[in-house]
Amino acid sequence: MVNQQRLAETFENLASIDSISRHEFLISGEIQRVLEPFASKMIIDGAGERTGSNTGNLIVEISGNRNAPLLMLNAHMDIVEPGLGVKPRFKDGVFSSDGTTVLGADDKSAIAIIIEVIRVLCENNLPHGPLELVFTICEEIGLLGAKNLDFNFISAQYGYSLDTADTDCIITQAPAMNQFEFLVHGRDAHAGADPEKGINAILIASQAISGLKLGRIDPETTCNIGVIEARGATNIVPNLARVKGEVRSHDEKKLENVTQNIVSAFKDVVEAYKRLHGEETLPCLDINIENEFNRTFIPEDHLVVTLARRAASNLGRNITEKKTGGGSDANIFFDKGIITGVIGTGMRDIHTVRESIRLEDMVKTVNLLLEIIKIHSNGAYQP
C-alpha cells in the first residue's frame, strides 16, 4: 500500500525547502498544506517567539476510526547548516545532496514518512486510533522547540520520535547532559614590554583543562571541551578566555560528579595562582552550568517497546533495544511524562555534506509505523 514514488517525491520536495533552525515557516506551511485534507485540527504554538524562530511548533491531530488512546508521532522541521539551497539527487535508490550542503534527511525523512503513513491510513480507511503529530522547530540548536512546546496542546502519553539512523532498533535509553561555560578573567599587559604585569587568561584556562579527563569517562559517561576562545593580539597578554563543553551520562549521580570535578579544577587553578603570586582579585572565574536535558529510560516491557517488537515480528523483522549517547526531542517529552521511543529512518552521515538515505529504508519505517498503528488500534494498549 505504500506509494514509493509518492514517498520519494514528498521527501525530495521537503528537502528542497530551506528550513535551517529558526527558519521553519516555509516547511511548516508545506506540511500543513499536505496534511490539511486528513487533519481534524492544526495548531501552531507560541514557541517561535520564545526561540526566535519565524514559526512555532506544529501540532496536527488526526481523528481515529477505532477507540484507542492517542499515539504521538514526532519529527523536527529544522536542519543544520550548510542547509540553504539543498538540491536533492536520487540515483540507484539513494538520495543525496549535490555535495555543497547537507541533504536534510535529518529529519525531513521522518516528516516524509509520517506524511505517507497518514496518507495510506486515510486513503485506505485502515484501522487506526487518533494520532497526534508533533513537528518541532529548533531541535538542532539545543532541542529548543521541544523545550518551549506548549504541552497544554499535547494529550498523548506515549509515542515515537523518528530521529535516528538504524531502522532495526528502538532507542530506549539516552543520557542526561550538562553544558558548562567558564570565563577566565586575567589582566592585560604589553606582551613584550611588561608581561610581568599581565595575568594570562589562556594559560590559566589551559592549566585547568590539562588536569581533566576528556572523552569516554566510563561506559555511561562522556565529557568534551568543544570551544576555547580568546580575543586580542600576539603582543597583548590576554585578559579573558572562554571555555565551553559538555558532560553526558546515563547515571545522574555520575553526571553531577563529573561536572563538579570540572568546576573544581578551574577553581583550584585560579586560587593556586592567587596564592602563588599574592593576587587578591585576579584571576577570577565566571561559571555557568546548564542542564540541557535529562536522561530517558524506557523499560523493556513498556508498550512502546512491545508494540514495536510485535510490529516488526509481524513484518518478518527484528527490532532491538538500543542505548544512545545523543539527545533528541524524546528526552524532553520523557521529562514531561510522555514515554517516547526513538526509531530510525535510515539516514546516514548526518550533519555532513555526504548525508544520504535509501528510499528502501524510508519504506521500511512507513511499514513499521503502519503495523504499530494497526496493532495499537486493535487494543494492544490494554494491560
Residue 78 annotated in active site: yes
Residues 6+ away with beta carbon under 8 Å from 290: 178, 179, 180
Provide the 10 A C-beta neighbour count for residue 374.
18
Alpha helices in the chain (DSSP H): 4-15, 25-35, 47-51, 105-123, 144-147, 201-210, 252-277, 303-314, 329-335, 359-375
Identify whether the C-beta of residue 38 lies closer than 8 Å to the C-beta of residue 118: yes
Query: In terms of C-beta distances under 8 Å and separation of at least 24 residues, what long-range contacts does 40-44 make, across chains too?
Result: 43/153
Identify whether the C-beta of residue 178 lies closer than 8 Å to the C-beta of residue 235: no
Of 78, 132, 140, 329, catalytic: 78
Query: In terms of C-beta distances under 8 Å and separation of at least 24 residues, what long-range contacts does 34-38 make, across chains too?
Result: 34/10, 34/115, 35/60, 35/62, 35/115, 35/118, 35/133, 37/122, 38/62, 38/118, 38/119, 38/122
Residue 139 annotated in active site: yes
What is the gyration radius of the CA atoms in the chain, in angstroms? Answer: 24
Q: What number of helices (H) and strands (E) belong to the chain?
A: 10, 17
Query: Using CA atoms, how far apart are residues 340 and 159, in angstroms rounded to an integer?
Result: 5
Identify whether the C-beta of residue 304 lies closer than 8 Å to the C-beta of residue 158: yes
CA angle centred on 254, ends 253 and 258, rounded to 5°: 120
Q: Rounding to the nearest 10 degrees, give the CA dihedral for residues 103, 105, 108, 111.
A: 160
Query: Using CA atoms, how far apart are residues 187 and 198, in angstroms rounded to an integer?
Result: 5
Identify whether the C-beta of residue 264 lies closer than 8 Å to the C-beta of residue 211: no
Of 139, 329, 355, 361, catalytic: 139
Identify whether the C-beta of residue 74 lies closer than 8 Å to the C-beta of residue 334: no
C-alpha cell of residue 37: 485534507
Q: Which residues are catalytic?
A: 78, 139
